[in-house]
Structure 1
Amino acid sequence: MSGTRITVTVVSSPAQHLAVLTSQGRGDRLLHVERLPAREARLAQWPAEVAPVVLSALLAGGIERPWSHQRSAMDLALAGRHVVLATGTASGKSLGYLVPMLSAAAEGAATPGRRGATALYLSPTKALAADQLARIEALAVPGVRAATYDGDTPPDERRWVREHANVVLTNPDLLHHSLLPGHERWSRFLRALTHVVVDECHVYRGVFGSHVASVLRRLRRVAARYGSSPTFVLASATVSDPAAHASALVGMPVAAVTEDGSPRGAMTFALWEPSADEEGSRRSATTEAAEILAGLVLDGVQTVAFARSRAGAEALATSARRRVELDDPTGAGGIAAYRGGYLPQDRRELEGRLRSGDVRGLAATNALELGIDVSGLDAVVMAGWPGRRASLWQQAGRAGRAGEESLAVLVAADDPLDTYLVRHPEAIFGAPVETTVMDPFNPHVLGPHLAAAAAELPVGEQDLSMFGPDARRLLDALVTKGILRRRPAGWFWAREDRPADHISLRGVNDVVAVVETRTGRVLGTIDEAAAHSQAHTGAVHVHQGDTWVVTDLDLESRAAHVVRGDPGWSTSAQSVSRFDILDRERSVRRARAEVSFGSVRVTTQVTGFIRRLPSGEVIGTHPLDLPERSLATRAVWWTVPEEVLEASGVDPARVPGALHAAEHAAIGMLPLVATSDRWDVGGVSTALHPDTGLPTVMVFDGYPGGAGFAERGFTAFETWVRATRDAVLGCGCATGCPACVQSPKCGNGNDPLDKAGAVTVLELALAPATG
């Protein structure tokens, strides 16, 4: 309850932290404790090839010897071999690529009158590039001229960077939109390019990964035009097959270094399930995590709590702040929120306050999951399963101060997968991290990039193998559409505009500014698709703990106008969806159902929103007039004849609710077999679909062209659906709850839902074919 006082107790170990957290009648919430042992350091010597000025800078900075995995990566990179370094959070991966990169730059710059070797560093976020620049500048290696080059770089600085910097830190977006289309201006830099660093490469998965794979191939082609063939050095969190993923990204064989030689303190990892009220409804993970965060902060434990959404991070910080105020009014200022959509200066300030210790508790989205240097915290709390084991360990790895013991707590959300995992710890601690799903030859992605490549340099026959087996067909299709021209020398760009302007690497074509109506101040941004459901007129919007109400969403000018104020309720959008099957590529007939995979078009429209009091009571439903949004993607679906359902006890009146509940549960369990989370995929169900003529349940990738999640669901259908059925059956509720068949993102307000009918639908889908 929000009014519960938390007793302040000074504690010094994870076991004591847990004892305090489970006191006051909360012991039944702790389902499992895993003790992860400490790891000793394995040291190595510096390679002889390290430039003397770089070695001097490292020794002066207190880095006397590298760890074994750093040395292995250095050896491969210094020998000109492409390498991916995939070790745990805070294992010093950056040193593995900085030493070869800085050595080349420093040695080249030592020659009078020469710029020398150059290096390009790519990260998924501007914040990470800024963080790495600070590390390079702190080393102060003579001859190294490093600079960031991104959308925030002033025009007058850009020319200096192009002409003088020998280490440029940027992101794939700027590489795609600026450097490659304008490669002539970068000719001196590209001619001397010896190293390309791709940091946090596990982030490049799904459709985003497919885009980045095409951008890196375009970079290789343009670099070759200027006579360079750089060595690629990639860094990744732990993934199941880093060599395969890195090789798919760059299009060349990549060696993997995975044996972690860094020291690590012991970790206590707790699995926590919120309690239920008298009606069987479970407390939300956000509420529970806020209580845990507040308790840890009051006990002097610097903690980051991860939420799964921007709104969740804001709500978690606000709730934790209120709880701390009950016992320590001065300590509430030490709790803050951190998420995407904040202005750059706000994020930098928060990062600095966290490092200095001024912020004792931070509620964050996975924007803080990447390699920004905020490791060395005491504890990490995760409000809900982050979607992947790789993300789980990346987030948990933020705890661990200089080899000291640390605490990680996973709080189960009202979600079937979360419930399943905290009750089956072997599925977390006894299982490897997932395969990273990424298709570098996704035709929906590759086609536009081939057009962009042709605009940079004509695409010749010699380039086809780089872009995959369908490259010729896609190029010819672009010729048919008048986008390219075919000449004896290759394929040429045939239009006046820039093809790169029509490609969004992250699947976000527009962003909507959140603007304070009274002053015109921009508070932050939100992508255009999310604005339909989160920043519509009448929506309650939380930003850095302050509550705002959206007075107008102007999609034409891409602005959501807000006024400050807390109306006392929250809002959630309602939507309708339909789906058209475009192509059934594969199908398997089972005894009672047919399972298919193929291309579909999903059309959705936000039609209204609901106002709810903090108690959950609905106090109003309001219509909205927003345009439809259409998505061409890939899906897995199954059909069950109506007469089979009726013979199994699901009469026609119950079919919609049974299918709808099965759809929700299946979406929640898909991450068990695919590298996705609930927000990566969508679903629809209908008692009579016009394309199948049957009751149909569909789960689709939430990205244009697909991302591989639905295909994985098709290939692992039995494992996926069996676990879904077990999760629904194993839930103790009577008619359905957020832990089994209710969904936090349902556009129909979770109505109708039929839990018992869902079990029948899932069991019918599992019945094996006979004969």
Structure 2
Amino acid sequence: MEFRKTLTSLLESLKEDKEFNDQIVHWHTIPAKEAKSVEMPKDLDTRLKIALENRGISKLYSHQNEAFLYANSGSDFVAVTPTASGKTLCYNLPVLQKILQDETSRALYLFPTKALAQDQKSELNEIISEMGVSLNSYTYDGDTSPAIRQKVRKAGHIVITNPDMLHSAILPHHTKWVSLFENLKYIVIDELHIYRGIFGSHVSNVIRRLKRICEFYGSDPQFICTSATIANPKELAETLTGRQVKLINENGAPSSKKHFIFYNPPIVNKPLNIRRSATLEVRKLAGKFLKNKIQTIVFARSRVRVEIILTYLHDLVKNELVKKSIQGYRGGYLPKQRREIEKGLRNGEVLGVVSTNALELGVDIGSLQVCIMTGYPGTIASAWQQAGRAGRRQGEAVILMVASSSPLDQYIIQNPRYFFEQNPETAIINPDNLVVLVDHLKCAAFELPFKVGDTFDGLELEDILQFLAEERVLYFNNETYHWMNDSFPAHNISLRSASQENVVIIDQSDIANVKVIGEMDRFSAMTLLHDEAVYLHQGVQYQVEKLDWEEKKAFVREVDVDYFTDANLAVQLKVLEEDMLKEDHNAMFGYGDVTVQAMATIFKKIKFDTHENIGSGPIHLPEEELHTNSAWISVNENVVERLSIKRVEESIIGAAHVLQHVAPLKVMCDPSDLHVIAQIKAVHNGKPTIFLYDRYPGGVGLSKRIYETINDVINEALQLIEFCPCTEGCPSCIGADIVSKSAKNDTHFLLSNIKDGTKNVVEK
């Protein structure tokens, strides 16, 4: 039998492997950290204390103790500590203590995903059974059977749910939940950092509705929030809850020794600085660990990438490991399938898992030893969350970040100090986004009528309510605004996307057993589920036979082909209104309302392994229109005069390419949330212009933040170009489509002049 190496011995052999070492940019070892513990609080209920001791907990970490004290004093607070630092006890202790003191007390737990809710329920029930008391905790989600739902409403001391269920199933039917709302003492919001962008803006309004209903039933619950590390946890918690909160950010939990390795794939084309595919390098590296039966998690940025890596790994280890020991995990999988994968990771049946950021959260998946990131996850906070999935309990852990050729990846990999020393990003939400706000005012009016003079958690409403009455959405009578439609509005409002409906994916490989295998938002479906697209699911390839755009259904059939597909999106943008403008000698910086027309045009077939283009075809889908906010940079004539027309075009496109990768860093968003396009002659002012716009109706504040921090953004873009080792421009800095030898210098010249101007801008 072949000898299998332990993680420590494999690390030692990797250190001596020249091929591996040549690609290491930085090897950062984080030493193990001792716990900072304190004695159990004196006023902690004896039954709770005994239950904890039976679980091996005789002391609390310092942050858990601080949380207990804040909760007892009646303060709202947010606890910010890394993955696996015992944040759960920050809310379970005060909640259980309160219910033990007064059995009529109730608590509502909000988790962003069903997986987290199920996971936390198991842990909570273990403590409750140890205490030996009659205390009911239930999950309330789409999988809860009708028979149990009634019991949850009447007798649930702790109701565990997600924002979507609170929005569409609990608040609209609050009259069935009287015992919960009358006695609600605590509202727990876990994984706070997830509530950013459009999702956070929606959830903030759901919280406004929740507080309004609590007030109606005479309760005033405390808020307990927990979060991974972000730059503004206190600000985010206060915007989300509309309350002043205290901050707990000193972590008292121990941590294991971690090796954080920055790995840059070898260059395969020196003049263009093109590197070997990160996906292929990840396959090779993950294979080394999996063949030695070292439990490994691989993160990839997209659903497609997850499925490609999964296919590669199945093929690589097919003679040594059974196929089901390596699984994929992402949004779009059905709940039962995801629960089985989580269980397999905990009991060791699943050796490897390839995931999108769906497993970033604190779902208990046991003690993985290795985490491999396929490219930089997009934010520092996200990278630390993913890194935290390895070495959660004891022993050494390895985190490998494998860079792609993208500008952002190359900037991070070449600047390890930036990664390890920089503050995490700021999470931005905009609860007052008009599109989002109006949707939730409709929901709130359905739940409880508005009287003249009412506010929505302090927000003046009269103009919007009058508008809704004029549109015959609300009925105004006797100084009160009533809902006047038959259906309830929450049913048609999705919290997680700007579009209201998802496309359902239907597998018809077996006509006798047609089944739904997943779903996808409309905007993504344009490029991933068009006719003839190859859709990947759990390593299986499906070809889209028909996308019914009207009915929102994609019909797929299983195929076996050696390629995947990628699609292009054509975008046109027009400025509707300039809200803010500042100008200097070299450039103008604007912010305002824009309209964007997007259309999927053609798709390419890309061969596995070589990633070469082997064919293409047209996409026949209607244009999607988006009204949103944008920041823009327009270059003045005096800078343009020093470049020829062709060089202006290339430098504007090059600058847009760099900004597309740098800007999301500054506002803690997924790169797909903030789009960048260049116009050589903008319609509204005739100048060469770069637009950075929110990919959501009405915007959520991302482009506004870019406008406010434009100098920092341009500075980062310049650094990225300066650090790139190429001579003439490449995919890692200004893009692959530029051929002029002066393009890199011209782009640097353009951005330098814009940056010089930002020091002397004048607001108009």
So what's the TM-score if we normalise by structure 1?
0.92
| Match in the other structure for 1:637 | 632
Alignment of 1:411-426 (within 5 A): 411-426=402-417
What is the CA distance between 1:630 and its match in structure 2? 1.5
Distance 2:7 2:624 in 1: 53
Alignment partner for residue 135 of structure 1, among 110, 123, 131? 123
1:460–1:37: structure 2 CA closer, same or farther, 3 Å change rule?
Answer: farther
Alignment partner for residue 240 of structure 1, among 228, 231, 248? 231
Alignment of 1:334-733 (within 5 A): 334-460=325-451, 463-464=454-455, 466-468=457-459, 470-486=460-476, 489-507=479-497, 508-519=499-510, 520-614=514-608, 615-641=610-636, 644-645=639-640, 647-649=641-643, 651-733=644-726
Distance 1:425 1:488 in 2: 64
1:345 match: secondary structure: helix
| Match in the other structure for 1:87 | 81
8 A Cα contact 2:656 2:676, kept in partner = yes
What is the CA distance between 1:204 and its match in structure 2? 0.4
What is the CA distance between 1:343 and its match in structure 2? 0.7
- List per-residue Cα deviations over 1:149-202 (Å, max 9, x = no partner): 112222232222112222111111111112111111111221111111111111
> Higher mean Cα deviation, 285-294 or 492-501?
492-501
1:581 match: secondary structure: strand
Distance 2:619 2:739 in 1: 22
8 A Cα contact 2:454 2:461, kept in partner = no
| Match in the other structure for 2:294 | 301
Distance 2:519 2:256 in 1: 39
What is the CA distance between 1:471 and its match in structure 2? 3.5
Distance 1:465 1:682 in 2: 32
- List per-residue Cα deviations over 1:567-617 (Å, max 9, x = no partner): 222211122111121221111213222111111111101122112223233
Distance 2:26 2:348 in 1: 30
> Higher mean Cα deviation, 18-27 or 349-358?
18-27
Alignment partner for residue 765 of structure 1, among 749, 754, 758? 754
8 A Cα contact 2:37 2:59, kept in partner = yes
Distance 1:643 1:380 in 2: 50
Report the number of matched residues.
747
| Match in the other structure for 2:105 | 117
> Higher mean Cα deviation, 347-356 or 678-687?
678-687
Distance 1:331 1:503 in 2: 43
Distance 2:442 2:152 in 1: 28
Of all paired residues, the percent bearing the same amino acid is: 34
Distance 1:437 1:228 in 2: 29
> Higher mean Cα deviation, 143-152 or 340-349?
143-152
Report the AA paired with residue 713 of structure 1.
I
2:682 match: secondary structure: coil
Alignment partner for residue 277 of structure 2, among 278, 281, 284? 284
Report the AA paired with residue 33 of structure 1.
W
Report the AA paired with residue 601 of structure 2.
T
Alignment partner for residue 98 of structure 1, among 92, 98, 114? 92
Distance 1:391 1:502 in 2: 31
What is the CA distance between 1:765 and its match in structure 2? 2.2
What is the CA distance between 1:559 and its match in structure 2? 1.9
What is the CA distance between 1:496 and its match in structure 2? 3.6
What is the CA distance between 1:300 and its match in structure 2? 3.5
Distance 2:478 2:47 in 1: 50
8 A Cα contact 1:441 1:467, kept in partner = no
| Match in the other structure for 2:253 | 262
Report the AA paired with residue 405 of structure 1.
E
Distance 1:466 1:619 in 2: 56
Distance 1:599 1:681 in 2: 15
What is the CA distance between 1:422 and its match in structure 2? 1.2
Distance 2:237 2:404 in 1: 33
1:619–1:463: structure 2 CA closer, same or farther, 3 Å change rule?
Answer: same
Q: Which ranges in structure 1 are unaligned for 5 or more consecutive residues?
A: 1-6, 110-115, 744-749
Report the AA paired with residue 23 of structure 2.
R
- Alignment of 1:77 onto 2:71: yes
What is the CA distance between 1:228 and its match in structure 2? 1.0
Report the AA paired with residue 494 of structure 2.
S
Distance 1:10 1:413 in 2: 28
| Match in the other structure for 2:17 | 23
8 A Cα contact 2:453 2:462, kept in partner = no
> Higher mean Cα deviation, 278-287 or 301-310?
278-287
What is the CA distance between 1:297 and its match in structure 2? 1.9
Distance 2:729 2:312 in 1: 27
What is the CA distance between 1:439 and its match in structure 2? 2.3
> Higher mean Cα deviation, 339-348 or 723-732?
723-732
1:631–1:56: structure 2 CA closer, same or farther, 3 Å change rule?
Answer: same
Distance 2:578 2:410 in 1: 33
Distance 1:602 1:256 in 2: 40
Alignment partner for residue 314 of structure 2, among 321, 332, 345? 321
Distance 2:296 2:72 in 1: 38
Distance 2:3 2:540 in 1: 27
1:583 match: secondary structure: strand
- List per-residue Cα deviations over 1:352-403 (Å, max 9, x = no partner): 1111112222111100001101253212111111111111111111111423
2:60 match: secondary structure: coil
1:752–1:584: structure 2 CA closer, same or farther, 3 Å change rule?
Answer: farther
> Higher mean Cα deviation, 434-443 or 474-483?
474-483
Report the AA paired with residue 464 of structure 2.
L
- List per-residue Cα deviations over 1:193-242 (Å, max 9, x = no partner): 11111111110011211111111111011011111111111111112232
- List per-residue Cα deviations over 1:446-502 (Å, max 9, x = no partner): 22222321221123467426243x544433433443333455644433444323234
8 A Cα contact 1:8 1:298, kept in partner = no
What is the CA distance between 1:303 and its match in structure 2? 1.5
Cα RMSD (Å) of the superposition?
A: 2.3
Report the AA paired with residue 717 of structure 1.
I
1:581–1:358: structure 2 CA closer, same or farther, 3 Å change rule?
Answer: same
1:617–1:88: structure 2 CA closer, same or farther, 3 Å change rule?
Answer: closer
